Structure 1
């Protein structure tokens, strides 16, 4: 019975139940199954603007339990199960619980330090990466046979390398690699502690009850704060384009931009779409006006980071098209450094980066 990963299975079921609750409370769900970012913010997603500037620290205890889509949840649960099967029985449920909770918090810290303002994140990947790092460290247990060691190392490297390696290349895309890094550091540090006691995990507390109880109480307290703020965030969400209404093709952006600006004048994305539409019509002056409006709105939007960077990239292209080369290159500095690969690729094509 000690070898059955009850805790791992329990954590997976807990994450599934939380996601089901998320879907029931979401203001909108995109065609691909992802939840509206405004819903995630109301439910407890974290970000520098939200946690540091607004002082909503309670998000640190909720964001690791939330997921942005079904695929996001499934991929995390698969990794958690495969790693948990190998790690839980090896180090005990007490250490497993401690590493999961500590890595979740450390992952949030890494995310806040590494990601810029306007970035919103959710997911248990920081906690899971901490378990992966712990499995890698624990794989060197001298009491294990060669086959066990190789199996554990293969598993930890299979999940750990893609979770951390992109940090060496700028960590572009939508994956929160900084959360992975924070979780991995915490997981590895905790897993090394028994090494100081001559590789005896039994020499340290193995009971999971206190860690789980503390984590559960902490999450409930954070959920209470989220509930108190929920209505105000959801009321604000109606002023932004719903996930199911966001244009997915270039021709939709052009044809629907005017309607979206009329219905959602506070949403910087609507003005960015309108600017793209004007650019298609070669109306550079109107495109610049809408782009500046998008930049201004995005600067004060807790989820506006990617939109602001995209608007800056478009502004750089507009300036370049008008022969304002020095202004274009200055405007392109931040987009060229950002994680938005598509924006950076367009600017590199115009030789505005570097």
Structure 2
């Protein structure tokens, strides 16, 4: 019975139930199964502006249990199962619980420190990466035979390398690699501890086996705070473009920008799309006005991080097109330093970077 990963299976079912609740409470769901970003914020997504800026510390205890889409959950559940089947019988449920909870919390810290302030995040990947790192460390158990060691190493490297390697190349996109890094540090450090202090995973103090229960109680307390703020965040979400109405590609967003601005005048994304449309029409003064509106609205939008990052680059191009070179270069300075792929390519094309 000790070899059956009951805790791993229980965690997966728990994450599935939580995501089912998320879907039922979401204000909107995109065709690909992604939940509306403002719904995620209402449910407990974390981010520097939310946790530090607004003092909503309770998000740290909820965000690792939430997921942003069907595929996000499925990917994490598969990784958790494959790693858990190998790790849980090896180190025991007490250590497994401790590593999962600690990696989730340290992963949140890594996410807050590494990601842009206005980018909300959810997901158990920090906790799972901690388990992956623990499996890598535990693979060197001197009592294991060569086949067991190789199987554990292959599994940990199969999941661990893609989870961490992009950090070496300036990680970007929708994957929270900083949460992965924090979780891996916590999981690896905790997996080493028994060898340094107790010399065996079997000698875990009894109190540590209560870690998962303490984590559950803490998450329920955090959920109470989320419930208290839920209605105000959901009321605010009604002013933004729903996930199911967001055009699928850039060209469609630009072509539909006038309709989006008319229907959702408080959404900074709509104004930025319309600015790009106006640039294509050579209406640079009107485009400048739209970008300034987008920047103003994004400053108070809890999900406005992507617009806050992209708008200065668009503004720089608009100013450059009007012959205001010095203003354009000053506006482009920060986007050029940020080294965001698509944004930097736009600026380099107009020779505003470098």
TM-score (norm 2): 0.96
Please list every run of 5 or more consecutive structure 2 residues that lacks an aligned counterpart in the other structure: none
> Counterpart of 1:161?
161
Cα distance in 2, alignment partners of residues 163 and 337 from structure 1? 25
> Counterpart of 1:99?
99
> Counterpart of 1:200?
200
Shift of 1:332: 2.0
Pairing 1:53-92 to 2, within 5 Å after superposition: 53-92=53-92
> Counterpart of 2:134?
134
Question: Which one is further off, 252-261 or 215-224?
Answer: 252-261
Cα distance in 2, alignment partners of residues 337 and 133 from structure 1? 32
Report the count of equivalent residues: 354
> Counterpart of 1:309?
309
Pairing 1:264-343 to 2, within 5 Å after superposition: 264-338=264-338, 340-343=340-343
Q: Aligned Cα RMSD in Å?
A: 1.6
Cα distance in 2, alignment partners of residues 348 and 135 from structure 1? 43
1:141–1:199: 8 Å Cα contact kept in structure 2? Answer: no
Question: Which one is further off, 341-350 or 120-129?
Answer: 341-350
Cα distance in 2, alignment partners of residues 160 and 352 from structure 1? 38
1:173–1:341: 8 Å Cα contact kept in structure 2? Answer: no
Shift of 1:209: 5.0
> Counterpart of 1:39?
39
2:313–2:332: 8 Å Cα contact kept in structure 1? Answer: yes
Pair 1:220–1:34, CA change in 2 (3 A):
same
Shift of 1:199: 3.7
> Counterpart of 1:236?
236
Pair 1:199–1:298, CA change in 2 (3 A):
same
After superposition, the C-alpha distances for 1:135-178 in whole angstroms (9 at most, x for unaligned) are 11111111111111111111111111111111111111111111
Cα distance in 2, alignment partners of residues 221 and 287 from structure 1? 46
Shift of 1:206: 6.5
Cα distance in 1, alignment partners of residues 102 and 167 from structure 2? 21
Please list every run of 5 or more consecutive structure 1 residues that lacks an aligned counterpart in the other structure: none
Pairing 1:246-265 to 2, within 5 Å after superposition: 246-265=246-265
Shift of 1:346: 2.1
2:95–2:209: 8 Å Cα contact kept in structure 1? Answer: no
